[in-house]
Amino acid sequence: MKLSSLLQKPPGYMIACMVCSFGGFLFGIDTGIIGPVTVMGDFKNHVVGNPSPTIHGLIVSSILIPAAISSSFFAGRLADALGRPRAIAIGSFIFSLGAALEAASVHVAMFVVGRVVEGIGEGLYLGTLVVYICEVAPPRHRGALTTAPQLLTTLGLMTGFFTCYGSANIPSSFSWRLPFLLLAAYALVFSVAALLWLPASPRWLTLRGRENEAVEAWEKLGVPAADREKILDQLSAQVVEPNPATAVDATGSTLTMTEMAPASRPVQSKTKKSQLRDLFASDARPRLLLAVFLMTMQQLSGIDGVLYYAPLLFQQAGLDSQESAFLASGVSAIVIFAATIPATLWADRWGRRANTIVGGLGMTCTMFLLGSLYAADAVHAGRGAGRWVVLVSIYAFAVLYCISWAVGIKVYAAEIQRPATRARATSIAHSGNWLSNFLVALVTPTLLAESSYGAYFLFGGCTLATVLVCWGFMPETRGRSLDDIDRAFQEKSRVSSSGLKQFARTISRRLLS
């Protein structure tokens, strides 16, 4: 490739997509700083005192439910009324206000209010940014561009951990206020950038009859005429693309095919009642239930428990100082960031079924190994090999998750749905993801306090149960057309149903004999 081609200014749509991807960076930073901040001594002295495990979990998880509510009920309406860039700007500005409130907190109530405000903003902008990318990116580049927010999220996670590592030794409350001040500044910059640099979505303009403005927007974005038609045709056909509005987790694995904002899909004449019937029809219901199960169990694998409370886990493993625990947390973020790059690039080369099952088995083994070490009292501070096995196992678990469940499960949850119900079914599935994410963040400190090994066995058991369900009910979808996926899923359903009936008949005969 010639140097001149490398030095050419990238097209406008690529710049716009990179600006949008910075929203993932904000989410990653918040995830990276909240765990370390809540175990800093000065934070406890100024804000919460010595919180119980339940209060600790509530502080961390209080951002999730507001984010889910604002994403589900308001993000699409705001983007529909004002346009994508303005909705992104408003959401990130509210996020900035929440981070500023956290930085200024003088007691725990003020801090929780800040996280609630932050969550409202997060749900608004995360519910729109990848929709915007889908509406402006040419189909041949859409896959790479829609993975950028995920990669930026893991970069933000790493940045957040090392920000706390650098500020932890400041001898004042500035040690924990500085990370939130920086986050508020980043979010404010992102808000201004979205407002000033992002052209209105041509798709949004077209739906409102503003054809001339749409043409100007296409020109500003530098999208060729042939690609414009493909984008509009695919969106009108309800080819649902990645959107993290209803699926956010701490690894940044948010880029999944889910519900487009109301303004980005065609108006349907069906009533809500008939849409609900379609969603729970006999050929759609098994797919919906499988998607809900997978998306719920993805979080019950314990990944957010590991990432939110990494410093706590490393301290429990025997690292004898807060500085060492923060450094180990930062290293885990580097490992996750590094693993996300090949996982993103090779996502479509690995089979969904094999990737989920093999990755799940690896994650199960690491969780059971961690639980067994603690149950056998083999982990001691300052001595023995047990603590090092724990550290390596935590890193291994995070890597296994990133290269398997982080991407594959969320894509699969959308792929298996019928085209007519994909948006609604995937949205429902991701609601389970939000709820389980909240529960994991809330209860992990309590589980660790009550039993040093119980949390690991619980998460390992959930992962193993998921593997068994996938083995019996999960057909492969990679590289298949929608018709092929329909046939594969119907065949798997018939085989599974036949097997269950045969199993029931066998049990009945044995009981009666």
**pLDDT value at position 207?**
79
- The candidate with the shortest Cα–Cα distance to 287, out of 480, 492, 504, 68, is 492
Count, residues in the chain = 513
Cα–Cα distance measured from residue 474 to residue 289, given in angstroms and rounded to the nearest whole number = 12
H or E element that contains 274: helix 272-279
Residues 37, 285: contact at Cβ < 8 Å?
no
Residues 440, 305: contact at Cβ < 8 Å?
yes
- The candidate with the shortest Cα–Cα distance to 295, out of 411, 133, 465, is 411
**pLDDT value at position 93?**
97
**pLDDT value at position 508?**
54
- Beta-carbon contacts of residue 286 (< 8 Å; ≥ 6 apart): 473, 489, 493
Q: Angle at CA 173, nearest 5°, toward 168 and 179?
A: 55
Q: What is the pTM of this model?
A: 0.75
Tokens read off for 387? 């603590």
10 Å CB burial of residue 73 (0-12, 13-18, 19+) is exposed
**pLDDT value at position 368?**
94
Phi-psi region of 379 (alpha: psi -120 to 50; beta: other; left: phi over 0): beta
Cα–Cα distance measured from residue 203 to residue 262, given in angstroms and rounded to the nearest whole number = 12
**pLDDT value at position 327?**
72
- The candidate with the shortest Cα–Cα distance to 417, out of 267, 278, 274, is 278
CA distances from 161 to 154, 157, 181 (A): 11, 6, 15
Given the structure tokens 């918040």, which residue do they identify? 30
- Write down the architecture of domain 11-263+270-479 according to CATH: Up-down Bundle (1.20)
Q: Angle at CA 449, nearest 5°, toward 404 and 305?
A: 20
Query: Digits of tens for pLDDT over the chain (513 positions)?
Result: 444 444 567 778 888 888 988 998 999 999 889 988 888 888 888 887 777 888 888 888 888 889 888 877 788 788 888 888 999 999 999 999 999 999 999 889 999 999 999 999 998 888 688 778 877 877 766 666 777 787 888 899 889 988 988 888 888 899 999 999 999 999 999 999 999 989 988 888 887 888 888 888 888 888 777 666 666 655 554 443 333 333 445 444 443 333 343 334 444 445 556 666 766 776 777 888 888 899 889 889 988 888 778 777 877 777 766 666 677 777 878 888 888 787 767 766 677 788 889 999 999 999 999 999 888 887 766 566 777 888 888 889 988 998 888 877 877 776 777 766 665 676 677 677 778 888 888 888 888 888 878 889 999 999 999 999 988 888 877 666 556 666 666 666 555 545 445 545 554 555 455
For the chain, the domains span: 11-263+270-479
**pLDDT value at position 44?**
85
**pLDDT value at position 367?**
93
Residues 330, 161: contact at Cβ < 8 Å?
yes
Cα end-to-end distance, the chain, whole Å: 76
